Amino acid sequence: MATNRTFTMIKPDAVANGHTGAILDDIIKGGFKIVALKYTSLSDAKAGEFYAVHAERPFYKDLVSFMSSGPIVAAILEKENAIEDFRTLIGATDPAKADVGTIRNKYAKSIDANAVHGSDSDENAQIEGNFFFSAFERF
Ligand code: ATP
Ligand code: MG
């Protein structure tokens, strides 16, 4: 069942480079409503759990150490067709291939430090939102 919700993280590179406010502004101007928001960080173990689906990929270890390298911002976003529209707003995984004007085009430097995460399905959006937020922290 479509939930009209997606989950995002502003990754450690974008937070460290001071892009948090600009990215949240792009998200809001893109028509998304923030229904949960948290400034936090992932331990190595928690990052490994979050990206467990990529455990067999060659970049997994680097991805996990990068995602636990500094603070992140986690959020649940609401919009009609949220999953697909958010992935359009952020652009391709590799910022060099991301359309001009997308968040990754504007704020990401490389495929591993690519500024933001966006859920790839309704099911994963639910799982990922539950990973970070209790029922009392979402609206
Ligand atoms: P995310 O899940 O973070 O939104 P995505 O869905 O666009 O990104 P995935 O295929 O799910 O891409 O990969 C998860 C993350 O792993 C990517 O965001 C990227 O940081 C990293 N990654 C993916 N492919 C590569 C690669 N070939 N080399 C290095 N890092 C990669
Ligand atoms: Mg993904």
Residue whose CA is at the smallest distance from ligand 1 atom 12: 93
Alpha helix segments (H runs only) across the chain: 12-16, 20-29, 44-50, 60-67, 82-90, 103-107, 122-132
Q: Where are the alpha helices (DSSP H) in 30-102?
A: 44-50, 60-67, 82-90
Residue 117 annotated in active site: yes
Give the total residue count for the chain: 139
Q: What is the pLDDT of residue 3?
A: 74
The model's pTM is 0.96
Residue 1 has pLDDT above 80, yes or no: no
* Closest residue CA from atom 29 of ligand 1: 112
- Rounded to whole angstroms, the Cα distance separating 50 from 99 reads 27
Q: Which of 5, 11, 19, 117 is catalytic?
A: 117
pLDDT at 8 over 80: yes
Give tens-digit pLDDT for 23-43: 999 999 999 999 999 999 999
Taking residue 138's Cβ as centre, other Cβ atoms within 10 Å add up to 16
pLDDT tens, position by position, 52-101? 999 999 999 999 999 999 999 999 999 999 999 999 999 999 999 999 99
Highest CATH level, class, for 5-137: alpha beta
Taking the domains of the chain in order of start, what are their residue ranges?
Answer: 5-137
